[in-house]
A and B are shown apart, each in its own frame.
Chain A
Amino acid sequence: MPLQEILYWISSQFLILKNILFFLAPAIPMTIKLTLVSFTFALFLGFLVGIARLSKNKLIKSLSKIYIDMIRGIPLLVQIFFIYFGLGKVLNLDRFLAGVIAIGVCYSAYLAEIIRAGIQAIHRGQYQAALSLGMTPYQTMRYVILPQSFRIIIPPVANEFIASLKDSSLVSIIGLRELTRAGREYYSQYFVDFHTWLVVGIIYLAMTLSLSRLVSFLEKKYKVHGYGIQH
C-alpha cells in the first residue's frame, strides 16, 4: 500500500471517531445527571436502611435485612424492567424517574451494608466514653460515631459511586437517551459498531478514571486522624 493511502485511511478513521464523539457528547450530561440523582437517592435510602440494620427493634432490624437480601439478589436489569414496565405503568413514571428509582434502590442496599459496617467498626469504648460524658445516644452518633465512620466509608462508597456510573448504562434499555443509548442510535444509523463502542467505552473510562483520581485526592486531603500509627 502506498504511503498516501495509509495516511488517507488513518485520517478517515479519525474522522469517523470524531463524528461519533460529536454525536454522543450531548448525551453525556444525561448520564452524569442520572448517576448523580440516583446515587444521592441511594445514599439517603442506604443510610436509613443501614441505621435500621443496627436497630434494637427486632422487626425493623429483620425488615431491613430482608430488604437488603432481596435487592441484592435480583439483577439490576430486572429491577429496571420491573420498575419501568411494572410499577411505571401504574404510577406513571417517566424513563428518568424509573431509572433513578431502580439504580437508587439497588445501590441503597449495597450502601446500607457499607454504612452499617462503618458504624460497627467504631470501638465500643467510643460509645462508653461519649455516654459517660452525659451525651445522649443521638449526640453520641452525631458527634462521635458518624464522623469517624464517615472517614472509613468514603473509599467503599466512592467505589459504589463509580460502579453506579457504569450501571447507569443499563437504563438505556428502557429508552432513556443517555450515553449508551446514544451509542446504539449512532450504530443503528451508520453501522460502525467497532468505532461506536470504542468511543462509548473511552468516554466511560475517562469519567470513571477521573472520578477515582478525585477520590484518592480527597482521601489524601482529608487524611484521617487517629487511624495512623500510634506512637
Chain B
Amino acid sequence: MIIQTKNISKRFGELIALDRVSFEVEKGEVVVIIGPSGSGKSSLLRCLNGLERVDSGEIIIDGIKLDKDKKSIHKVREEIGMVFQDFNLFPHLSVLGNLCLAQKVVRKRDEQTSEKTSLELLKKVGLLDKKNSFPSQLSGGQQQRVAIARALAMNPKIMLFDEPTSALDPEMIGEVLEVMKVLAQEGMTMLVVTHEIGFAREVADKIIFMDQGKIIEEGQTEVILNSPQNPRTIAFLSKVLK
C-alpha cells in the first residue's frame, strides 16, 4: 500500500470538510474521486501532501507517517506531485525555469541535469518548442501540461490531480487527459479528482464517491459506474452522466 489513511477528519471552524475518511491505494493504481462541490475532495488531496493539516486520523504515504513534524511533511512532499485546477505555474519564470526551479533548490541537481530532465519531460508532454515561453504566452491546456511536467520533474511516486481540466476550454481537455493516460499506463500511482467520467471509465481502477466530507461509496470503476448502490451516488452519477 502506498497511500493509507485512517479516519482522517478536518474542520474549518464549524464546517466539517473531512469526516473520518479511510481508504487505501495500491502502488500503480489510478483512483478517481468524484463528488459534488464542497464534498471535501480538494481538502482530501491537500491533506495527503500536508498542505492542509488533519485534525485527527492517520496518513501513511509510502511507509512515512505524516505528522506535525516538518521533516515528515517534507519527505512526503518529495514523493508526491500535485497538479491544480488553475495550473499555478510561476508567471515570472519561463517554462524551463518552472521545471528547473524545484529540481535545483529541492533536489540539488545542477543546471545541466535539471535542464536535461526538463527537456525530456517537455518532449513527453509535447511542448519542447515552448521551453522558452512564459506561462502567460501559453494556452490553458499547454499550461496544464507544463504543470504536469513540472511535478514529474521531481520524480514523484504519486501524482495528485485536483480537477486538472475544469478550468480548460472543451477543446483543450483532450490534450491534458491524453498526457494523464500515458502516465497511468506507465504505472504511476494517481489520485484524480475529476468530473470527466469518460476518463474515469477508461483509466481508473477504482472510484471513490464523496459527499459532505465522507466517502459514501467506493469500488471498482465498472461497479460504481454501472451499478452504484447508494442513492446519493446514483443521483450524482445520473446528473454528471446526462
Listed in ascending order, the chain A residues whose CB lies under 8 Å from chain B are 123, 125-126, 128-136, 139, 143-144, 147-148, 151, 224-231
Q: Does B101 contact A (CB under 8 A)?
A: yes
25 sampled A-B residue pairs with Cβ under 8 A? A125-B86, A125-B88, A126-B88, A128-B46, A128-B84, A129-B88, A130-B90, A130-B102, A131-B77, A132-B51, A132-B81, A132-B151, A133-B151, A134-B74, A134-B78, A135-B102, A135-B106, A148-B90, A148-B92, A151-B92, A225-B134, A225-B135, A226-B136, A227-B91, A231-B136
Q: Which of A132, A139, A225 has the most CB atoms of chain B within a 10 A radius of its CB?
A: A132
Closest-by-CB residue of A relative to B147 is: A129
Q: Does B200 contact A (CB under 8 A)?
A: no
Whether A135 and B88, one on each chain, are in contact in the complex, defined by CB atoms closer than 8 angstroms, is: no
Q: How far is the CB of B158 from chain A (nearest CB, A)?
A: 11
Inter-chain contact A134/B106, CB cutoff 8 Å: yes
Min distance, Cβ B146 to any Cβ of chain A, angstroms: 11
- In the complex, which range does the number of interface residues on chain B fall in? 20 to 34
Name which residue of chain B comes closest to A125, CB basis. B88
Asked if B49 CB lies within 8 Å of chain A CBs, one says: yes
Verify A226–B84 contact, CB threshold 8 A: no
Q: Which residue of B lies closest to A148 (CB)?
A: B92
CB within 8 Å of A: which of B41-96?
A: 46, 49, 51, 74, 77-78, 80-82, 84, 86, 88-92
User: Are A139 and B92 in contact (CB-based, < 8 A)?
Assistant: no
Residues of A within 8 A of B86 (CB): 125
Do the beta carbons of B90 and A135 come within 8 Å of each other?
A: no
Q: Is the CB of A147 within 8 A of B92?
A: yes
Q: Does B18 contact A (CB under 8 A)?
A: no
